[in-house]
Amino acid sequence: MTLYRATAPHGVRPSPNIWNHTSTYEIENRAVDPDGQLAAALREVASWRARTVLDLGCGSGYHLPWFAEEAAQVIGVEPHPPLVQLARRRTKRLPHVSVLPGTAQQIPLPDASVDVVHVRWAYFFGPGAEPGLAELDRVVRRGGTAMVIDNDGTRSTFGGWFRRGYPGVDPAAVERFWASHGWSRRSVDMGWRFTSRADLEAVVRIEFDHATAEAVLAEHWERHGEDSGGEGDSGLSVDYAVNLWWREY
């Protein structure tokens, strides 16, 4: 990682959760949005049927096959070389999907070439991300839509954990940033649902520093009873609110 950081393209935000714990991050992605509220909100904001989708900061390409079910073309852009390889491997049987190395600040695509942009849990977007927004202005066609998903620290169980783990994130400043650039917000109650206590704990431990992770897990299991993780699913579902920021071009 040190070597990579020394040579990383400008603007790349280290993402230790997925860079260093790729298989646990896959478990996290599988636990996300178990009842499809976020998927439905994305579809309501923009249809990608027969259109060109860009998944910016696509990580290991988890969402690429889902977009590819309906889109004419899907492009994943990702700066971390091992994840580019994984995303390519995941989509190798999908001829209308390609994965390119690149960043939000320098999107490796021509002007006016994309209809729908999806950016999920990308810490490189938010206050200070004007260079990335300028790139969206360049690559998104007129009539296109960009959608960014991030954590809502103002509500939900996960939101409370997020506030504790990332006290430097100011929800009011985030809201001001997006509003000042003409973006709108939808609040989505997305949820996490795990199949085992071990999976939930592993994911919480890659998302938070040690002290925060252990504290929120102890409180969580106390709230859901000592026998949680046994036969029932007590405590395996976590209410988790996100913001879907979006803008039409």
Ligand X SMILES: C[S@@+](CC[C@H](N)C(=O)[O-])C[C@H]1O[C@@H](n2cnc3c(N)ncnc32)[C@H](O)[C@@H]1O
Binding-site ranges for ligand X (CB under 6 A)? 11-13, 15, 17-18, 29, 56-59, 62, 78-80, 83, 103-105, 120-122, 124
Closer to ligand X by Cβ: residue 62 or 161: 62
Nearest-approach distance from CB 134 to ligand X, in angstroms: 13
Nearest-approach distance from CB 29 to ligand X, in angstroms: 5
**What secondary structure does DSSP assign to the chain, as a single string?**
-HHHHHHPPTTPPP-HHHHH-HHHHHHHHHHB-TTSHHHHHHHHH---TTSEEEEET-TTTTTHHHHHTT-SEEEEEES-HHHHHHHHHHTTT-TTEEEEE-BTTB-SS-TT-EEEEEEES-TTSSTT-HHHHHHHHHHEEEEEEEEEEEE-TTSSHHHHHHHHH-TT--HHHHHHHHHHTT-EEEEEE--EE-S-HHHHHHHHHHHS-HHHHHHHHHHHHHHH-TTTTSSS-TTTEE--EEEEEEEE-
Nearest-approach distance from CB 221 to ligand X, in angstroms: 25
Nearest-approach distance from CB 97 to ligand X, in angstroms: 15
Closer to ligand X by Cβ: residue 131 or 234: 131
Q: 43 to each of 89, 94, 118, how far by Cα in Å?
A: 26, 21, 11
Q: Which residue is nearest to ligand X (CB)?
A: 59
Nearest-approach distance from CB 228 to ligand X, in angstroms: 27
Measured between alpha carbons, how far is 242 from 165 in angstroms, rounded to an integer?
Answer: 16
Closer to ligand X by Cβ: residue 104 or 202: 104
Closer to ligand X by Cβ: residue 25 or 221: 25
Closer to ligand X by Cβ: residue 4 or 249: 4
Closer to ligand X by Cβ: residue 88 or 224: 88
Measured between alpha carbons, how far is 176 from 145 in angstroms, rounded to an integer?
Answer: 20
Nearest-approach distance from CB 108 to ligand X, in angstroms: 11
Nearest-approach distance from CB 136 to ligand X, in angstroms: 12
Closer to ligand X by Cβ: residue 18 or 216: 18
